[in-house]
Structure 1
Amino acid sequence: IAGKTLTHGTPRKLKLRSKIRTLQRKLLSVKSNNTHEITEEDVTTFMEKNYPSIENFVKMQMHLTKVAPKRARYTTEFKQLALMIYFLGPKVYKFLRKTLQLPSKSTLLRITRKWEINPGFKDFIFSAIQIRVNTLGTLARDCVLCLDEMSLKTFLFYNISQDSIVGYHHSISGKSYDAANNDLVVMARGINSNWKQPIAYFFLNSICSVDDLIKIIFSVTTKLQNIGLNVLSVVSDQGTNFMKLSKQLNVTPEKPDFFINDKKVFSLFDVPHLLKSTRNNFFAHHFDFSEGRTNKAFLERFYEKDKQQKYRLAPKLTDIHIHPNSFQEMKVKYASQVFSATVAAGLNCYISLGQLPNEAMATATFVKLVDTLFDIPNSWKFGGSKFSNRPFMGSSYQIEVDKKGIQLLNT
């Protein structure tokens, strides 16, 4: 501005110059400190002070960066941590290996092969499962307990590492020197989430006794409840010992449940096994219900006529389906393909064309009803082109089908 001069010694400007000099000294100090090279000791000290839980992991990573991958050696603690990460998520572990020095999958498998998993319940298995359970939501913790027996070929094997002979009877009630010819496997499986985990196995010299079954079910359910899982039901086949178990637990169609630690547990028979049993009874006997009487002969006549056609109504049916041997009877797919909408439609078509008598309509209706009854409890996804194959949601259609099924079973 004309006629005025700028001042430079006013109190305000002197104060600002002093502040600038102070900031310049601080800047020089920071630059000087930054020139100091950070050492491993500095990192270790920082981790000890701020992140003690991952201090050892960081130390190990700094050490492994100096070693070739094939020459890397891992501590037992580090291997256990790697196993935990892999158990929580194999895909995450694979991603982390791209940037971190972690043991390979084959190394982890070699570690697990050293675990001694003998007949009976092992605490370390439940501890490992709990790691995974802690990451699950409330609904994902709902599960069923599956029990199944299988015949074994009698054989004794000497385990050098354990200095023991494998193959003798070893149940929850104790061991004996009787050679095992059966085994019982216990597995937990998620209801709302797709996971399954074998829990234990037992070698048996005959089918498992009812008393042992009760001990196993109550013991494993308690252990699973203690690690946070919610066991809603016990599922088994229709073996004689499991039928006796239901009676001993006072399980009936009207009251299909019992209590373990004050929590209700439902007793269910395996649906695929029920389907096979229904097929076997259908082949051996007649079913009398509101629509009439079933007869396998109508199915046989339909099959003999249909297999001669160039374009078949039931192309999946074969001689194995109609006349299965003892081993083929164990295949669920053969039973499910007999009780199918395709076979029911084929029977109905041949009745309409006069190739089968009207009495065969009861057999066609029975086949279709069993197919629908099997679809509802055998569902695995919400969508799907087949309406009856969707999860049970209490719809009027599903309830009506169940009522017809109950009426059929009561006849």
Structure 2
Amino acid sequence: MIGLQMRPNNCAQPYTDAQKLLAMQWYYYSASCYDRMRQTGLQLPHPRTVEKWVAKYDVAPGFIELSFQDLEKDLKTLPPEAKLCNVKWDEMSCKEFEEYSSKHDLIVGFEDLGPLGITQNRANHVFVFTLNGIHTSYRWRQVVGFFFARHSVNRKNIVILLKMMLDKGEEIGLDIRMTVCDQGTRNIKCYNLLKVTAQKPSFEHNGEQIIFIHDCYHEVTNLVNALLKYGKIFMNGKVLYLSDMKATWDADQRGKLSNNLNHITEVHFYPNSFQKMNVERSRHLFGGKLAKAMIEAHEKGLVVSETLLESAECILVINRLTDAADSNKTRDINPLKSALPTENVESRAVVEDFLSWAPSLKVLGKNGCMKTLPCLMV
């Protein structure tokens, strides 16, 4: 960074590898922030220069062979546990836009599923595969494939691409144990093709059993969206009321509580379609701070509701469950967030208890009938 600032204007000397890497990293994190830093007077390479450095990698829609080659090279010197990983995939909408690629001599912006071919439909979704190390001592992540689709990739193509992904991982020596995705409609429809059921949440590929699970945080988001839509959720003999949560938040906004809920805003209760997908915002509504504020509101008589403590108890149960599911560390200050070995009795008890009452998660539909909610985990 110091070298870039001391570099004279119109210098003909090439940038060092370290300077190129720094510029590409910053530009990757935020192109707008990168432009803003240049406007404030920081000496940084022009964005077009950075784009040329990035463009030297010949990457097209489909599976990224360069990523597999780098992974194979790096994993040769690592122990077997470093090769333990899972396959994740996700999809998001993108702007429809076509442009001419001089590098590949074609117009890009159309539906392109890599090995499954290109169509003349304008793409408005991007579908991405990543590989993630699951051993606590070897945490790594690598994007290994991306595809452009019209609306979204259908279930048949998802399964075909997934099996190709598993084959490629096996070829370079990876030990893929599971797949992880959200509960999108197309993903759920993959169950039948892969013969996945609640009793047998796995499928066989090349003689190996691959566990099929969902991202627990997105399940919390689904639960929050159900609560916002129906107003209350029935769970394990208790009821969680949205009205109790709103009343406690209102009391905190008036300065009647200990001001513990600054992280919760009106958007949490009245999100638009895009904001409903925010995972962090969903965790705020099922956080321990809101539950403690509800208990305080009851003790001070600030919220008059016979169900306030019951709703707070429901939030604490879900909060403990998300902590237990967030076991991405071997050791943590919160014992529930530690990994789930045999000796972690508390975390295991929380998960096993949830599995016993998960089918009781229901909402009251508009027609007066009880509707079963999807389980938080398969």
> Structure 2-normalised TM-score?
0.76
The answer to whether 1:249 aligns with 2:194 is: yes
- The alpha carbon displacement at 1:253 in A equals 2.1
- In structure 2, the partner of 1:381 is 329
Structure 2 residue identity aligned to 1:410: P
- In structure 2, the partner of 1:143 is 85
- In structure 2, the partner of 1:358 is 306
Higher helix share: 1
Structure 1 residue identity aligned to 2:145: A
- In structure 2, the partner of 1:283 is 228
Question: How many residue pairs get matched?
Answer: 311
Provide the aligned C-alpha RMSD in A: 2.6
Contact 2:323 2:336 in 1 (8 A): yes
The answer to whether 1:339 aligns with 2:286 is: yes
Aligned equivalents of 1:113, 1:219: Cα separation in 2 = 26
Q: How does 1:5-404 map to 2 (within 5 A)?
A: 113-171=55-113, 172-192=115-135, 193-285=138-230, 286-309=232-255, 311-354=258-301, 355-394=303-342, 395-404=344-353
Aligned equivalents of 1:301, 1:123: Cα separation in 2 = 54
Aligned equivalents of 2:124, 2:53: Cα separation in 1 = 30
Render the CA deviation track for 1:220-260: whole Å, top value 9, x for unaligned.
Answer: 11111111111111111111110101232121222111111
- The alpha carbon displacement at 1:176 in A equals 1.0
Contact 1:292 1:359 in 2 (8 A): no
> Structure 1-normalised TM-score?
0.70
Structure 2 residue identity aligned to 1:205: R
Render the CA deviation track for 1:334-355: whole Å, top value 9, x for unaligned.
Answer: 1111111111111122223343
Aligned equivalents of 1:137, 1:393: Cα separation in 2 = 21
Identify if the C-alpha distance between structure 1 residues 113 and 309 changes in structure 2 by more than 3 Å, giving closer, same or farther. Answer: same
User: The residue matched to 2:68 in structure 1 has which SS?
Assistant: helix
Answer with 1 or 2: which has the greater Rg.
Answer: 1
Contact 1:302 1:356 in 2 (8 A): no
User: The residue matched to 1:393 in structure 2 has which SS?
Assistant: coil
Structure 2 residue identity aligned to 1:300: K
User: The residue matched to 2:289 in structure 1 has which SS?
Assistant: helix
Structure 1 residue identity aligned to 2:314: F
- In structure 1, the partner of 2:359 is 410
Render the CA deviation track for 1:77-106: whole Å, top value 9, x for unaligned.
Answer: xx9xxxxxxxxxxxxxxxxxxxxxxxxxxx
Structure 2 residue identity aligned to 1:326: S
After TM superposition, where is structure 1 displaced by more than 4 Å over at least 4 residues in a row?
Answer: 107-112
Render the CA deviation track for 1:373-401: whole Å, top value 9, x for unaligned.
Answer: 11122233233322222222243322321
- The alpha carbon displacement at 1:326 in A equals 2.0
Q: Which segment is superposed worse, 242-251 or 377-386?
A: 377-386
Contact 1:351 1:358 in 2 (8 A): no
Identity of aligned residues (%): 23
Contact 2:324 2:351 in 1 (8 A): no
User: The residue matched to 2:187 in structure 1 has which SS?
Assistant: helix
- The alpha carbon displacement at 1:109 in A equals 9.9
- In structure 2, the partner of 1:86 is none
Contact 1:169 1:203 in 2 (8 A): yes
- The alpha carbon displacement at 1:304 in A equals 0.8
Aligned equivalents of 2:331, 2:64: Cα separation in 1 = 40
Contact 1:372 1:388 in 2 (8 A): yes
Aligned equivalents of 1:399, 1:381: Cα separation in 2 = 15
- The alpha carbon displacement at 1:291 in A equals 4.3
Contact 1:141 1:229 in 2 (8 A): yes
Aligned equivalents of 1:264, 1:108: Cα separation in 2 = 43
Aligned equivalents of 2:254, 2:311: Cα separation in 1 = 21
- Structure 1 alignment gaps of length 5 or more: 1-69, 72-78, 80-106
- The alpha carbon displacement at 1:138 in A equals 1.1
Render the CA deviation track for 1:270-312: whole Å, top value 9, x for unaligned.
Answer: 1221111011112222222334222100111111112212631
Aligned equivalents of 1:289, 1:238: Cα separation in 2 = 20
Identify if the C-alpha distance between structure 1 residues 111 and 284 changes in structure 2 by more than 3 Å, giving closer, same or farther. Answer: closer
User: The residue matched to 1:368 in structure 2 has which SS?
Assistant: helix
- The alpha carbon displacement at 1:190 in A equals 0.7
Render the CA deviation track for 1:157-198: whole Å, top value 9, x for unaligned.
Answer: 101121111111111421111111111111101111221111
Structure 2 residue identity aligned to 1:142: L
Contact 1:170 1:202 in 2 (8 A): yes
Aligned equivalents of 1:317, 1:227: Cα separation in 2 = 46
Aligned equivalents of 1:203, 1:283: Cα separation in 2 = 32
- The alpha carbon displacement at 1:110 in A equals 6.7
Aligned equivalents of 1:401, 1:282: Cα separation in 2 = 22
Structure 1 residue identity aligned to 2:272: N
Aligned equivalents of 2:50, 2:268: Cα separation in 1 = 45
Contact 1:291 1:365 in 2 (8 A): no
